[in-house]
Each structure stands twice: as structure tokens, then as C-alpha cells.
Amino acid sequence: MDNDLKKAALDYHAFPVPGKLSVTPSKPCVSQYDLSLAYTPGVAEPVREIAADPEAAYRYTNRGNLVAVITDGTAVLGLGNVGPAAAKPVLEGKAVLFKYFAGIDVFDIEVAARTTEEFISTVASIAPTFGGINLEDIAAPECFVIEDALIRLLDIPVFHDDQHGTAVIIAAGLLNALELQGKKLSEARIVCLGAGAAGLTSMSLLQTLGANADNMLLVDSKGVIHSGRDDLNVYKQRFARSTGARSLADAMCDADVFIGVSAANLVSPEMLASMASRPIVFALSNPDPEIRPEVAHGVRSDLIMATGRSDFPNQINNVLGFPFIFRGALDVRARRINQEMIIAAVRALSALTHGPVPPQVLEAYKLTSLEFGTDYIIPKPLDPRLIEVVPPAVAQAAIDSGVARAPLPAHYNSHPLAGSRPARRPG
């Protein structure tokens, strides 16, 4: 980062007040009467109602629109284990995105836990405050243990965005890229570089959507994850294949798809040249991808490419997913975010890209035209249709799969891409 941008980023976070969040009352408190309703004696009435029926908290408190974004600071962006205090700017930023894109309130919570068990216990203990839990920036494999335990313990959605959020956007973009390249997911040979939370979960989701496990190779820092290795944890063992491939270069030979969730500049032009015809490359390391787009396009003219950056086409950005997935889950008070809801989000995002792009999107990105094609396989984050399409699809999937505790809200209306009824744009 250059010095000017560094200073601008620090000033942005420091002025006019420190941080990016504040708490704003949603009810008036300008008179003695208001005060008597907001606190004593009036507050006793909702307390009695909730004590008699805990579900009444969704009527009398902000629980139904409040999500906890929680971390232990062990895997923050590309910076690693920087600790819970240093993770706070990222979580505040996540809270801003929840609020801006989906109207969801957030408390960011940074936990100084000494063990995985202590972290799980802490989150479970504070869960009655919230309508949902978004786990963030937690290292693998502990993140898998934590999410699995909390899903079992709690009756509200628990969602590790580094796992499932990333997987949803990768899957939606890949389905469209495969369509454009004339290939089928069930036949595609897929290589994933990076076997942490994002890589493992993305490959699992692609299998659920129809990818053939025998056509997948995962690569970690020690090479291809194969059945002869004795250093694999239980999560990597699920993806161990009987193969003679040992290096990334071996794995990429004749591959149809490369997905990178690892580190910069690990893919060489020679590796890209060895891929099958009409390859798909998702080089998602940030800020620097596994191979830069200008290098990749210089090697392969038949390429479809995506990155994690906003300054290149086809940005794989989690903000396309988590605000809208939680919006749909909260709107029907889902007990969890299940596979059916995740797949509904994938399908909704994939379908949205095929529709006409609204003028405000073109204006926001300074474009004269944009249509489904090699440089547009996934919606833009500032597309106002996201809130109209993704939450209803997720909410309907929650109802259909039996995890919803409330019907679709009255403000959902008909929309041809939603498969049900879409939410209002939060304002």
C-alpha cells in the first residue's frame, strides 16, 4: 500500500471519531413519558412477556434484526493471527456492510479465548442477544470445530463467512463461467490451491451441486492432497485422491478449472498454458492474485478469469452473499442456515447475472453497457436487485426445508428471479 493510501485509510478510521460504528436509538426519548416507557417502569412489561415466552424477544427487542460478527483474530484477512483487538477494524467493516446492504444491525465481538472450547462456550453464552451469529477470521481447522459445535448448541443461524460465504460466490460464478465455456460441472476437472476454510468448503459445495469428487484435486503448501500422505487432518482427508500428481504444476495439467484461495503469484504462465481448452481461472488471493489477469490473458485468449479485486472484471466478493443470506434467514426466523438455503443463494446469484443490468449499476461502475459474458459472470456488489432476489430465495428455502419459524414477511412482493417474494431495499 502506498503512503497516500495508508494515510487516507488511517485517517478514515480515526476521524471525525474513532471507528466506523455507533449505536443509535430507534425510539424517541425526549420526554419524561418516553423515559418511563424506555426504562422503568414501562420496560417491566416486555420483560414479563419475554419471561413467559422467550420467542416474544423477537417482538419486543431488536434480537430479530441483530447479528453478532465474532472472531478470535487468528486468521484476519491476509495478515494471519494478529489477535482479537487488531481484528476489530475488519469486524466493524463487516458490520457496515451488513447494515448498508441488508439493513441488519451488528455488534462486533472480539473474543480473547485461550482454547477452542472457551471460544465456543463464550459465543454460546451470549447467543440469546442475537438473531444470528456470523463467525469471521478464525483459523482452520479450528473454524470447522467451532461452527459445527455452535450449530449443534444454538437454535439461531451460525454461519462462518470465510467458509460458506466464499463458497457461495465461487459456486455462483463458476456455474456461469462453465455455461459460457460450454462445459458441465459434473465433468469439469477442478484444481483448488488452498486447503483452508474457503477451499475445503467451496469444494464441498461444488460436490453438492454436482461436481465429481474424482475430478477434484486440492493442493496445500506441501503439494497435492493425495491418499498417500500421512499429515492430513480429518477435513483434508475427505479430499485425498489416489493420484500420481504431486505438485501444483502436475495438478493443473489438462484442468478445466483453477480456484486459488491461497497467496500471490503461485501460478506460472506455464501452468496456465498446460490447462485444458477454454479454461476458467479464479485467482482470488488478495490483494495480489495467484496470477495477474494481464499475465493470464497474455497466455490464454480462451480464458475466463475472476479475482478478488474490484479493479478487475468478475470480482468474487463475499458481500454478494452474507448480508442477503442473513436477511432471508432473519426474515423467517430460521433456526439455522442449511445447505438448501446456501444452494438457493447460489442459484439466485447465478440467475441474476443473466438479467438486464439496471442503469444505476452502470452509473456506479462508470460503464456504458454490461451483459452476461466472459467479463460479467457474477453480479456487481452495488446491484440493487440483490436485496430483491437473494433474501426471498433463501427465506423460501428455509420454509421449504422446515427450519423457518415465521412465514414470509408481508413486505415481500413478486419477482420473477426470486422464486418467491423479494424484500424491500433497506433504507
How many Å apart are CA 32 and CA 372, to the nearest integer?
Answer: 58
HEC assignment per residue over the chain: CCHHHHHHHHHHHHCCCCCCCCCCCCCCCCCHHHHHHHCCCCCHHHHHHHHHCHHHHHHHCCHHHEEEEEECCCCECCCECCCHHHHHHHHHHHHHHHHHHHCCEEEEEECCCCCHHHHHHHHHHHHHHCCEEEECCCCCCHHHHHHHHHHHHCCCCEEEHHHHHHHHHHHHHHHHHHHHHCCCCCCCCEEEECCCHHHHHHHHHHHHHCCCHHHEEEEECCEECECCCCCCCHHHHCCCECCCCCCHHHHHCCCCEEEECCCCCCCCHHHHHCCCCCCEEEECCCCCCCCCHHHHHHHCCCCEEEECCCCCCCECCHHHCHHHHHHHHHHCCCCCCCHHHHHHHHHHHHHHCCCCCCHHHHHHCCCCCCCCECCECCCCCCCCCHHHHHHHHHHHHHHHCCCCCCCCCCCCCCCCCCCCCCCCCCC
Three cell numbers, residue 2: 502506498
Active-site choice (88, 94, 183, 236):
94
- Could you count the other beta carbons within 10 Å of the beta carbon of residue 276? 17
366 part of the active site:
no
Q: Apex CA 384: angle with CA 335 and CA 108, to 5°?
A: 45
236 part of the active site:
no
Active-site choice (33, 39, 60, 100):
39
CA atoms within a 13 Å half-sphere pointing along the CA-CB vector of 166: 28
Residues with catalytic roles: 39, 94
